[in-house]
Amino acid sequence: MTATSPTKPEARAFAALKVNPCVAALPPYNAGMSLTRARALSGRDDLARLASNENADGCSPAVLAALADGGFEPWRYADPACTALREALADRIGVAAEVIVVGNGSEEMIAAISRAVLVAGTQVVTVVPSFGLHEIEPLAAGASVLKVPMTAAAGFDLTALEAAIAAGPRVVFLSSPWNPVGPALDRPALQRLIDAVPPGTLFVLDEAYFEFSDAPDGIAMLRDSGIAHVVLRTFSKAYGLAGLRVGYAVCSDPELARVIAAAKTPFNVNGAAQRAAIAALADEAWMKASVAGIRAERDRVAAGLAALGLHAAPSQTNFLFFDTGRDSAEVAAALLLEGIIVKPWREKGYESWLRATIGTPAENDRLMVALRKLVAR
């Protein structure tokens, strides 16, 4: 990108334009380093991509077959309501299809919820370290965001969260299992937070890593809670469809689902993605086997890190979050030279923490060998 000189006509034209100040002031979403940039910086092709919590095993072969079998027609608009996928999900989860909204990734549902429920001056509660969009989308809608820090033991601060929720924000965004930290709310903890939700507050539980966890099923717990809520799930992580973009919102009632659906773009989920998600859902055995392998590797890597004196937060996900004891951007830069892409955390107070996705066993070995070299220095 070239910098625009203020004397250029297009810069003067932009200066005269009124843009949405909330959007113009947004912090950038930290999407992690692109493969092209990582190749250029490291001079390597053998990169282990452990920055974005993708599935190390890829996806079910049934998905690839469904995309190749000729049933997908690129020239047709896909069903804007994702009817077949919503029916398959409703069947699997045990809810009515009319409370499900499917998004272009669950990220789009975070945006749609913010657009549907928030207006300028409203309050949102989330946590820090945070999943960037739980802050960015509310800020874009003109809301202000209170972020409750994690405890010294890298857990949810339940007392502080309870108080922040009881104060009656318009929306609460929590991921459990928690990206980027790793732990999940157990049943009593989730119940405590549910009990703190006053009328007028929407409780959004983002369960992007649910399949990797031993956490209670948020959909089942919230269904009987009587509070206004949305549970978010995704095909990006356990099902390995990050590049196709399919996630969904399970809402507390059909009216809420209607308003959230009204806030999305009409043809948000493309035909290939709808087809792939239905095939992925039908091959539950592939997902379960993949998750079992990744969970075993997660334990092995956590033990390996601990042996190096690097203690990771307890994880119910496909990643580990640990304190490097120094600027994690420097650690990430050194790892990149070894061909490993990880995510150094940048939020204030957490700049020494690093998030590493659980990769294939060979990738995980490379991570541990490289960290041993760095720590031994």
Ligand X SMILES: *Cc1c(COP(=O)(O)O)cnc(C)c1O
* CB nearer ligand X, residue 92 or residue 326: 92
User: Is 248 or 322 the residue whose CB approaches ligand X more closely?
Assistant: 248
In terms of CB distance, is 179 or 364 closer to ligand X? 179
Q: Cβ contacts of residue 90 below 8 Å, gap of 6+?
A: 96, 97, 100
At closest approach, how far in Å is the CB of 319 from ligand X? Answer: 9
Taking the least distance from each CB to ligand X, the nearer of 132 and 169 is 132
At 134, list the tokens. 């739980």
Distance CA 357, CA 307 (A): 18
Contacts with ligand X by CB under 6 A lie at 53, 105-107, 131, 175, 179, 206, 208, 234, 236-237, 242, 247
Q: Would you say 175 or 290 has its CB closer to ligand X?
A: 175
Residue closest to 363 by CA, chosen among 293, 280, 314, 309: 293
* SS3 (DSSP) at 231: strand
Query: From the CB of 357, what's the least distance to ligand X, in Å?
Result: 10
Smallest separation, CB 117 to ligand X (Å): 17
Residue 359 to residues 219, 297, 363, Cα–Cα distance (Å) = 28, 8, 5
- Residue 94 and residue 293: Cα distance in Å, rounded? 27
Q: Which is nearer to ligand X, 89 or 208 (CB)?
A: 208
Shortest spacing between CB 64 and ligand X, in angstroms? 19
Closer residue to ligand X in complex, CB, 110/117: 110
Least distance (Å) between residue 70 CB and ligand X: 27
Q: Tokens in use for 105?
A: 């990734």
Peptide bond into 129 cis (omega under 30): yes
Closest Cα partner for 57 from 343, 296, 217?
A: 296
Helix (H) or strand (E) holding 317: none
Q: How far is CA 340 from the centre of its chain?
A: 21
Element (H, E) at 357: strand 353-357
Residue 58: both structure tokens together? 């890829």
Give the shortest CB-14-to-ligand X separation in angstroms.
Answer: 30
Beta strands in 165-315 (DSSP E): 171-175, 202-206, 229-234, 247-251
Task: Return the closest-CA partner of residue 345 out of 334, 356, 359.
Answer: 356
Cα(86)–Cα(56) distance, integer angstroms: 27
Least Cβ distance, residue 182 to ligand X (angstroms): 11
Q: How far is the CB of 337 from ligand X (least distance, A)?
A: 27
3-state secondary structure of 297: helix
C-beta of 128 vs 374, nearer to ligand X: 128
Q: Which residue has the tokens 């990169």?
A: 47
One-letter amino acid identity for 144?
S
Q: Which is nearer to ligand X, 44 or 346 (CB)?
A: 346
CB of 46 to ligand X, least distance (A): 25
Instruction: State which residue has the least CB distance to ligand X.
Output: 105
